[in-house]
Structure 1
Amino acid sequence: MSALPSSLPAPQPRRPIHTRRIAFEGFLREDGLWDLDCELVDTKAEDVQMHEKGLLPAGEPVHHMRIRVTVDDGLTIRDIQTVTQSAPFGECQNAADAPMRKLVGLTMGPGWRKAIEGAIGGTAGCTHLRELIFNAATAAFQMIPGYKARKERVPGAPRPIPEKPPFFMGQCMAWAFDGPVVQRVAPHFYRGVKKSD
């Protein structure tokens, strides 16, 4: 296996224009539920004339939005809270939380994007909050099943072999059923040509 590059190649001469930062932080609550704090911040590298706010200085957020989504072990949303700290229009700040509450009771899993669009798509919700909550599902998956598997594993005991492949197999080039990762770490699900010794 070759070493991965440590950075992108040097770019052509350029200047910064726009930055979007997205962050997800996961927490296990004392009541057994899980909180995922999600944040989106958009900034411009130059002063920008806004429609209603006037001149926005470079580096000040055009958008700064946060979501706290509470889920159970099955990734079903139990609660959701949002705050829009900065947005181009007052309507963005005042009306974002109520539509997001329509997601309570939905499960982050297959059909998640369609469920979001059905509940808060188009003018029923905020584009940026939709983008943020959609991607929160992958962060929730990174948080919950992995943590639970590590806690349930007995030190020194072999890993149990599942009857069915995990849902992520076959969904990424690294986890291709005929690829070397599956052949190495989950050979019972490997579907490629087996190499002879």
Structure 2
Amino acid sequence: MKEIDVPLPPAEKRKLLHTRRVIYRGYEREDGLWDIEGELLDTKTHPLTIPNERTLQIGEPIHGMLIRVTINAEMVVHGIDVAMNNVPHGPCRQAMAPMQLMIGSKMGPGWRKAIEHHLGEIKGCVHLRELLFNMATAAFQTLPAQHTTVSVDPNRPPQHLGKCVTWDFNGPLVQNLYPVYFQHEIK
């Protein structure tokens, strides 16, 4: 399928103030597990003074955080490592230890609820939670199809069906690739 380049319309005159870079990487390990890594980096194009603490210089990271989640073929978390190299406030790093509570959680239905249960509100860090939310999608993209379990129960379609216009139960892609779920009704 040929890609179509559709740029954004020209922007109004403006000035860049903030950049957030988020990157996910998926790795297959030699021991049969997978590592999914997420990185978040926030920078400013101007000095940023944090009252009563310090001033960050242009390009100095406000947030520089990494998470490595180790999962098995069923996408169950076996291990989690966290680095908070750049944080705006000293207490921020206290959010690293509770991340271990995610071990045993499954990346799939209920993933976001598990994150909120274990790390929500003041139990964790909003930026680490943001990284974790989308790690499940990166994991799904990383694991080869032969390692992911595809449901054959017509009452339980694969979790990505019915979640976007492309995977509409009434759409041509589902009809072609998952005919057993074509025109499936969620119960």
Q: TM-score, normalised by structure 1?
A: 0.83
Question: 1:29-48 counterparts in 2 under 5 A?
Answer: 29-48=29-48
What displacement does 1:163 show?
Answer: 5.1
Question: 1:107-186 counterparts in 2 under 5 A?
Answer: 107-146=106-145, 148=147, 162=152, 164=154, 165-186=157-178
Pair 103,52 (structure 1): closer, same or farther in 2 beyond 3 Å? farther
Higher normalized contact order (CA 8 Å, seq sep 6+, divided by chain length)? 2
Please give the per-residue CA displacement for 1:29-48, whole angstroms capped at 9, x wherever unaligned: 11111111110001112111
Task: Verify the 8 A CA contact 2:22 2:40 in the aligned structure 1.
Answer: yes
Point out the structure with max Rg over C-alpha.
Answer: 1
Who is 1:191 aligned against? 183
Please give the per-residue CA displacement for 1:128-157, whole angstroms capped at 9, x wherever unaligned: 0011111111111111153637xxxxxxxx
Task: Verify the 8 A CA contact 1:82 1:96 in the aligned structure 2.
Answer: no
Give the Cα–Cα distance (whole angstroms) in 2 for the partners of residues 35 and 6 of structure 1: 33
Pair 57,147 (structure 1): closer, same or farther in 2 beyond 3 Å? farther
User: Structure 1: which 5+ runs fail to align?
Assistant: 150-159, 193-197
Partner of 1:19: helix, strand, or coil? strand
* C-alpha RMSD of matched pairs (Å): 2.4
Please give the per-residue CA displacement for 1:37-95, whole angstroms capped at 9, x wherever unaligned: 110001112111123542211211100000011011111111101010101111113x2
Give the Cα–Cα distance (whole angstroms) in 2 for the partners of residues 66 and 80 of structure 1: 11
What displacement does 1:186 show?
Answer: 3.4
Give the Cα–Cα distance (whole angstroms) in 2 for the partners of residues 30 and 3 of structure 1: 34
Give the Cα–Cα distance (whole angstroms) in 1 for the partners of residues 2 and 139 of structure 2: 30
Give the Cα–Cα distance (whole angstroms) in 2 for the partners of residues 133 and 3 of structure 1: 29
Who is 1:23 aligned against? 23
Give the Cα–Cα distance (whole angstroms) in 1 for the partners of residues 2 and 101 of structure 2: 47
Task: Verify the 8 A CA contact 1:35 1:69 in the aligned structure 2.
Answer: yes
Give the Cα–Cα distance (whole angstroms) in 2 for the partners of residues 163 and 110 of structure 1: 16
Give the Cα–Cα distance (whole angstroms) in 2 for the partners of residues 89 and 189 of structure 1: 49
What displacement does 1:188 show?
Answer: 4.3
Who is 1:13 aligned against? 13
Who is 1:79 aligned against? 79
Identity %: 43
Task: Verify the 8 A CA contact 1:45 1:58 in the aligned structure 2.
Answer: yes
User: Structure 2: which 5+ runs fail to align?
Assistant: none
Who is 1:157 aligned against? none
What displacement does 1:12 show?
Answer: 1.3
Pair 90,180 (structure 1): closer, same or farther in 2 beyond 3 Å? same
The amino acid across from 1:65 in the alignment is M
